[in-house]
Amino acid sequence: MDTILQDTLAIVRKIHNIIIHSIVSTNIDQYVTSLNAISLQWKTTSRSLSKQQRSIFFKTHIQDLYFIHENLVGSVIRERHKKLIVKFRYGHDIIFASLDTIRPIMKFKQLPTIVFTEFLKGITYFATDNIYETPIYHRPNSCGTGTLTIKDKFGRQTDYINETAMTHITYIRRCYIERQIYNDIFKAILYKQDIAHLKELEMIKRLYDSKVPNSQLTVTVSHYEEPSHLHPTQLHIQYTTNHYEIYRKTPLSNIVRCEKYTNGKVFHKIQTFEKETHWIEGPLNIREKIKIKPLSV
């Protein structure tokens, strides 16, 4: 299946270039023919896999499959050359039916959560955190369970769970930061955010502003984009004019290089999902030899 996927991506990348650059001409039919032919390979090959194996394949290659969907019948082609969708619909539907997915867009809604979770590993999310719900900002030391409202989670007295006021604010700050990151990744992948998420983001912003008056907290996520993949690689958190933090990650690496600038001083640290480390005064030495440990994919 991996070989068929790569062959399909090669075809769809050519279709993508035609769509993006508006080079629509008679040669589009040769790609339709190629797509229809390879879709039959999907159908034949998938029969040798169990339902569980097909499900695992979908989850493992969800970004590639999303790219295929978006360029054949999704928003990428719909916003530029909607009339072409009818040409690609047959091949598209066979491919996704082979993976037991009649309406793939429903499964793709989990893609931002997957990317968000991987990006946060080693930044604000660590192996020792208890995860009961997704997105992971619903863990206890961030936004808390999604079964409760913002008011129920954060409107309590700080001694309700025997925590200090500072710890209480730390949870609110982390929740606000992580929801901003999630919002950025969600929009980058699915182009628009769910209204319920936006409403909660605005509520947590107002709560944080009330707890930390005159806050200048802003969050910026930088991405490295490939034709079929989005990789968030850098997080910039600005607390005040004189205080900000930068976290850098390389795709397929679990090493996070961190820098903090506060009141004219510079700090750094290097950490992973397995272990959070303490800030060390001084700039980050990018020449420092670090053994890169690949992520499992």
User: For 232-273, what is each residue's pLDDT tens digit?
Assistant: 999 999 999 899 999 999 877 889 999 999 999 999 999 999
- pLDDT of 43 strictly over 90: yes
pLDDT confidence of residue 64 = 94
Predicted pLDDT at 127: 94
pLDDT band at 92 (very low <50, low <70, confident <90, very high): very high
Span 208-226, mean pLDDT? 88
Question: Which residue type is seen at 95?
Answer: I
Q: Tell how strand 256-262 and strand 265-271 pair up.
A: antiparallel
Whether the pLDDT of residue 128 is over 60: the answer is yes
Q: Other C-beta atoms within 10 Å of 88: how many? A: 22
Q: How far out from the chain centre does Cα 123 lie?
A: 14
DSSP 150-202: HHHHHSS-GGGGT--HHHHHHHHHHHHHHHHHHHHHHHHHHSS--HHHHHHHH
d(CA 132, CA 147): 11
Q: What is the pLDDT of residue 25?
A: 62
pLDDT band at 163 (very low <50, low <70, confident <90, very high): low
HSE-up of residue 257 (Cα within 13 Å, Cβ side):
17
pTM given for the model: 0.83
Output the average pLDDT for the chain.
86
For 48, the token pair is 């040798």
Q: Considering only CA atoms, which of 289, 249, 287 is closest in space to residue 271?
A: 249
Position 189 pLDDT exceeds 60: yes
Mean pLDDT over residues 172-183, rounded? 94
Calpha distance 172→183 (Å, rounded): 16
Tell whether the model's pLDDT for residue 166 goes beyond 50.
Answer: yes
pLDDT of residue 213: 85
Distances (CA, A) of 96 to 64, 90, 102: 12, 10, 6
Identify the CA nearest to 293 among candidates 254, 248, 250. Answer: 254
Amino acid at 132: Y
Nearest-angstrom CA–CA distance, 27 and 56 = 35
Highest mean pLDDT among 19-28, 126-135, 226-235: 126-135
Question: 261 with 243: CB under 8 angstroms?
Answer: yes
